[in-house]
Structure 1
């Protein structure tokens, strides 16, 4: 048994892994002798079975099938064999299995057929495919199965190699899909026009809430399509990730037009995007009227003082934004003490400590304590104890986790409560 590898934790998850260095006898012996409850290093129950480059012969496959009751998640990593289709078919029919990941090359025809048959009646909540989607016919079969699987809420196709013909198939499937809540298409080498096609195919989709297109090649055509999607009255999109596009110069004028009309989007990620003055000015102005966007990421965008100041000067007028990330830019001056004076919504302003003025820390702390409710006279007397408890808990947690000089700058929970009771003095 010394050659059997128990990898109890993979990427901080509890997992039992079957490796390629095990022969069929060892694999079967391991499976048959597993304890009833397998506990990982953090005392959490192991519910993930990972097959790492395992040659799935007849005996191994059917032993795994007998043990499927143990697992809620199964991952294939470059595994192969003539009987893989039988295992796929069994996994898709098993009520315990909620997550399936397949990593490797193109699926063989038998496995594709097993996917088609099994997906329509599966119990999966999440399907991850890191494979080649270059054959239009195979892609169509898989996506047809996904569209007929109302239980699948999350589809991850990141890093897939997708052919132009398969892009068309994906768009057709998205137009009719009624169940997906999350779609990940990161790092798929999607071109500008392909991203635009995907975005436009989602205009009438009423289920999708989270879409990631990071690390592709979006440019003007894609941004125009994104604007049209955001203006669609039927779209329910809450999160859009357009980070790290190549070359990275995004048309924020188009995006601003979409945000002006949008009432659903809550999170927008523009990490490592290049923005000029005209675009930033228009974008910042839109955020003064958009009331639903809660989180915005502009980290590592190479923004200089002259451009970033166009965003910061409007912070006082933002009505919905709660979290703004602007670290790793080229801001050289410390924030003005009145940067968020009058803004009771913003709770996180993520910038380098050397640039943060103590007064801004205080204002953010007050906002986290619930200052907007006081300003709007919306806090019933019965909730004042809850408000006090929240402020005290925040200061206790930050004093335990961070240096007091960094978090409070001499500002205590008593000070916070004083200003809250006094009212909107800022």
Structure 2
């Protein structure tokens, strides 16, 4: 049976079977502290969302010959786990594991770009806005070579980078990266033009501002064209397609907008199609009498909190009048304005700002969102059984009387049933 293709932003640890269509943008070998080897990868879907992936050494013979940097794949039956690494490749808090039952098929998916880089400003790194546990992409020009040294027997180069706002940051590289950078600096010395460096998957180290990273470097040749250097890492051609070297005059626009030039090809239709928790959809179809639920805290004193439910009573182009139907302010009428909204934890490698009303249509709600409410009538739809301790109890106890409770249960084929599964963790009662 063909499973639905999942976006990377949809992955979680609660489901056992996932099907993803991704491109491998980076791949390298890693020796763990326990002596165990792994192949680490960065996977990206057609929306530019990235997630880390791990292939353990016992599965090398099965999967290593099938995987290459830049290839697009349909991957099924991967395991999604919480990441315990010091660094994540994106804001997604999960990691993908290849397992014995995983299947991999290389496909032609031109809609997935070779790579997408979300540029982080130096100011965000220095101020701490950029999270130290998430790897970042940065662009800057070499302002000064601070130090070159050899430490038994590692060769280390320390340089200062600056961006268009003249903010400075220290970069430390070593071994082949230090040699590569030294070579580019020497060649660029005769050109007398800014040497632009693009660093990807950069680690933010303490003290703030220090980066230790693999990097892409490039400058301008005698004809003013972009030149770039190659890496000798595990993925031999990774820089050939992934590097996006720009001249310094172009960095100003790049950093001001805080996204990669690749995002210039994104259409309004594509951006309008994006959906995630915390912000409403681009298009809301509502009328007087439509039940809605707030997604943001607007005014706690007036009862306008996240998950407050209301009924639309009047419509305007910029304001909606609605009556509160839950909480202590039941019956109060209020006005909800259209406003700029952005998810607090974006699943995409850019910041999406959507101007919309901060609510969604709510003819139904999840069991978790219903907690704390006391209702006269409840219709409980269980197309699948509950999956956590106490969840069924919460659902059934929302109604004030048995007469007001109606339950619909069916199996995967739509056949009605009169039983369901309750989940109870007996350990909870062990110390009672």
Give the TM-score normalised by the residue count of structure 1.
0.27
Which structure carries more helix by proportion? 1
Instruction: Select the structure with the greater relative contact order (CA < 8 A; seq sep ≥ 6).
Output: 2
TM-score, length basis structure 2: 0.27
Higher normalized strand content (fraction of residues): 2
